[in-house]
Amino acid sequence: MRTHRGVGLWGAVAALALLAAYQAQARDHEVIVAIHVDATGLDLSKPADGYRLYSRLRNAAWIACRDGARVNLEPVADPARCYDRALGAAVRSANAATVTQAYLTEHSLEQALVQGIYVPDASTARRVQ
């Protein structure tokens, strides 16, 4: 049986430990699938770089939750929920306003709050929507 080794995020957001990492089933045990996302060279104070990192996080969450069969893992029971949780955890861990703004271009404020993503002045943002 093949195993899959998890790798943490490195670079500007090195503190991310649970990037797109979610439990998947191998034949007889659970494993953690983690995707390395490189943020080297990105300046997260710039919106374009925040969106670049968000795009990478989104792709990593998709791969972690949908492509387990490529490494002999059973598919996750609910890939959409896995993806939402993995992406939310990654954005929350990045803790960068530009990454959060990129997330909010595709998700509601309520979705962000459910995922525990810090949204500066969420009460004002909620009234504007």
Distance CA 93, CA 95 (A): 5
Q: Supply 114's token pair.
A: 């459910």
Overall number of domains in the chain:
1
Distance CA 68, CA 128 (A): 40
The mean per-residue pLDDT over the stretch 95-117 comes to: 94
pLDDT of residue 34: 79
pLDDT of residue 29: 64
Higher-confidence residue of 20 and 106: namely 106
Residue 13 within any structural domain of the chain = no
Q: Supply 104's token pair.
A: 């909010």
Residue 5 within any structural domain of the chain = no
Residue 42 within any structural domain of the chain = yes
Flag whether the pTM goes above 0.75: no
Residue 6 within any structural domain of the chain = no
Distances (CA, A) of 27 to 12, 30, 31, 69, 72: 36, 8, 10, 11, 8
Most confident range (mean pLDDT) of 30-34, 39-43, 47-51, 116-120 is: 47-51
Most confident range (mean pLDDT) of 16-30, 76-90, 115-129 is: 76-90
Residue 116 within any structural domain of the chain = yes
Q: Where in the sequence is the domain holding 33, given as residue range(s)?
A: 22-128
Residue 10 within any structural domain of the chain = no
